[in-house]
A and B are shown apart, each in its own frame.
Chain A
């Protein structure tokens, strides 16, 4: 293989005119983090609501919850990204569509919403499983005390369910972070997109993607560590 290794490439000026290739990757990293965090907030809140709906004693709520999960889980993420970016602005009322299209960083907002709705379907499944794992006994105990359904969820079911599903939720968080790279297809200059343009301009493909890989791994490491700390922090004394 005739490949010119050049690890110094990161300190070469980038073709953008300002900064080095390293700065370029760093800016990609920041967009990746911003997209991952913002979409996670939507995914967590919406996913919790949908997951709860699937466990409520109401047929309508179950149906809405199931419909949501099946819809968003079964359409490929790439397709969803295109739908949000190209189709949604067209089917909205004209004025809204125009407003969306002229928005600065439109690809960022689109990616946040798209990933948020997509990951919400996965969070919902975890929340539902968590609540169902608790068996009917806990729900009955709360209800028998006189707690309303909302109070039973708030004070009994959810605090336990979130503890149970903390490890799978961590994986969903990491999946969501990795899925941000799909947003390069709608023009978001996140980490993978940046590594790709670095490779195109400098021809140092291995260096560019080694850097991206290491950065993704480091984020995972940090997230897993934080999640472990959180798990210990919220662990219930005496529980196995």
Chain B
């Protein structure tokens, strides 16, 4: 289909296959299909309420689906025998509102999953956690609590927490939209570095600068449908649908 798409032989890291989801009578995902190959960065955008958060949360089964199927690294998310906690531990997730554990120090936030899910020793978890904290530029804050950090700092810790599980893929749900404007940059920088290091990423964001810089593909959603699934250049330069054009003109206007 497009020049930069991975060859068919490459197994997709995330494969979303004709999924549909309803909340009661309301269908919020309509027959959505897309894939993310290893090392790829896919940006998901679209108007509010279009189903972006819902779509990304189906990947690690935080949201159940009623139709279709999803595989992550070849493992069926809906399959009967799948060990969901184990699968989730390999999929890092970053939320709009950070969701650090407020009663735990930054260090403990970074080690809880490693210790309880991966069974790492205290020292091992600590060493790895502090290394990641250094990577997001927050070594000096290890002993603090989430409530003592700024939003941007908390989100960087949240990214480090997700990375502490050695994920094979990272999901981001509007990681910068709850931040004061002056803190958006520091979080995007971390994400850009991550992308350049080859992390497979699926990112819901309206930061088109980020998309232009590191995205391979853009998925555009509207009213529960994937309206456009194109390479970055195709999406920005020649969006096919009217809806995507309208969306782009609005979002690039400000």
Binding site for B on A (CB under 8 A): 137-138, 140-148, 151, 155-156, 159-160, 163, 236-240
| A138 and B99 within 8 A (CB) | yes
Give the chain A neighbours of B230 by CB distance below 8 A. Answer: none
- Beyond the given pairs A141-B101, A145-B117, A160-B101, 8 more chain A to chain B contacts, judged by CB atoms under 8 angstroms and listed by A's residue number, are A141-B100, A142-B101, A145-B165, A147-B116, A155-B116, A236-B103, A239-B145, A240-B147
Of the candidates B87, B95, B101, B117, the one whose C-beta lies within 8 Å of that of A140 is B95
| A159 and B103 within 8 A (CB) | yes
Of the candidates B93, B112, B116, B147, the one whose C-beta lies within 8 Å of that of A144 is B93
**A and B contact pairs by CB, cutoff 8 A, 17 listed:** A138-B101, A140-B57, A140-B93, A140-B95, A141-B93, A141-B100, A141-B101, A142-B101, A145-B113, A145-B165, A146-B87, A146-B90, A146-B165, A147-B113, A236-B147, A239-B102, A240-B147
| A238 and B148 within 8 A (CB) | yes
| B62, B97, B99, most chain A CB atoms within 10 A | B99
| B146 and A238 within 8 A (CB) | yes
| A137 and B113 within 8 A (CB) | no
Of the candidates B85, B101, B102, B103, the one whose C-beta lies within 8 Å of that of A146 is B85
Q: How far is the CB of A137 from chain B (nearest CB, A)?
A: 5
| B103 and A163 within 8 A (CB) | yes
Give the chain A neighbours of B144 by CB distance below 8 A. Answer: 237-238
Give the chain A neighbours of B156 by CB distance below 8 A. Answer: none
Report, nearest first, the 9 A-B pairs whose CB atoms are least far apart. A146-B89, A238-B147, A238-B148, A141-B99, A145-B113, A146-B117, A144-B93, A239-B147, A237-B145
Contact string against A for B residues 133-172, beta-carbon threshold 8 Å, 1 for contact and 0 otherwise: 0000000000011111100000000000110010000000
Residue B60 at the A interface, CB < 8 A?
yes
| A146 and B113 within 8 A (CB) | yes
Contact string against A for B residues 85-118, beta-carbon threshold 8 Å, 1 for contact and 0 otherwise: 1111111010101011111000000001100111
| A236 and B102 within 8 A (CB) | yes
Binding site for A on B (CB under 8 A): 57, 60, 62, 85-91, 93, 95, 97, 99-103, 112-113, 116-118, 144-149, 161-162, 165
- Provide the bound-state CA to CA distance between A156 and B97, in Å: 16
Give the chain B neighbours of A159 by CB distance below 8 A. Answer: 103
- Provide the bound-state CA to CA distance between A140 and B112, in Å: 15
Give the chain B neighbours of A156 by CB distance below 8 A. Answer: 101
Give the chain B neighbours of A239 by CB distance below 8 A. Answer: 102, 145, 147
**Which residue of B has the minimal Cβ distance to A155?**
B112
- Provide the bound-state CA to CA distance between A172 and B86, in Å: 40
Of the candidates A138, A160, A237, the one whose C-beta lies within 8 Å of that of B148 is A237
Q: How far is the CB of B39 from chain A (nearest CB, A)?
A: 22
Q: How far is the CB of A156 from chain B (nearest CB, A)?
A: 6
**Which residue of A has the minimal Cβ distance to B87?**
A146
| A146 and B86 within 8 A (CB) | yes
| B99 and A140 within 8 A (CB) | yes
| B60 and A144 within 8 A (CB) | yes
| B147 and A148 within 8 A (CB) | no
**Which residue of A has the minimal Cβ distance to B148?**
A238
**Which residue of B has the minimal Cβ distance to A144?**
B93
Give the chain B neighbours of A151 by CB distance below 8 A. Answer: 116-117
**Which residue of B has the minimal Cβ distance to A137?**
B99
- Provide the bound-state CA to CA distance between A237 and B149, in Å: 11
Give the chain A neighbours of B103 by CB distance below 8 A. Answer: 159-160, 163, 236
Give the chain A neighbours of B147 by CB distance below 8 A. Answer: 236-240
| B145 and A238 within 8 A (CB) | yes
Give the chain B neighbours of A142 by CB distance below 8 A. Answer: 101
- Provide the bound-state CA to CA distance between A238 and B118, in Å: 29
Give the chain A neighbours of B60 by CB distance below 8 A. Answer: 144
Q: How far is the CB of B61 from chain A (nearest CB, A)?
A: 9
**Which residue of A has the minimal Cβ distance to B96?**
A137
Give the chain B neighbours of A143 by CB distance below 8 A. Answer: 62, 88
Of the candidates B85, B87, B90, B93, the one whose C-beta lies within 8 Å of that of A147 is B85
Give the chain A neighbours of B87 by CB distance below 8 A. Answer: 146
- Provide the bound-state CA to CA distance between A138 and B103, in Å: 11
Q: How far is the CB of B92 from chain A (nearest CB, A)?
A: 8
Of the candidates A137, A163, A237, A238, the one whose C-beta lies within 8 Å of that of B95 is A137
| A144 and B102 within 8 A (CB) | no
| A146 and B88 within 8 A (CB) | yes
Q: How far is the CB of B248 from chain A (nearest CB, A)?
A: 30
Q: How far is the CB of A31 from chain B (nearest CB, A)?
A: 37
**Which residue of A has the minimal Cβ distance to B63?**
A140
- Provide the bound-state CA to CA distance between A238 and B88, in Å: 30
**Which residue of B has the minimal Cβ distance to A240?**
B147
- Provide the bound-state CA to CA distance between A143 and B103, in Å: 17
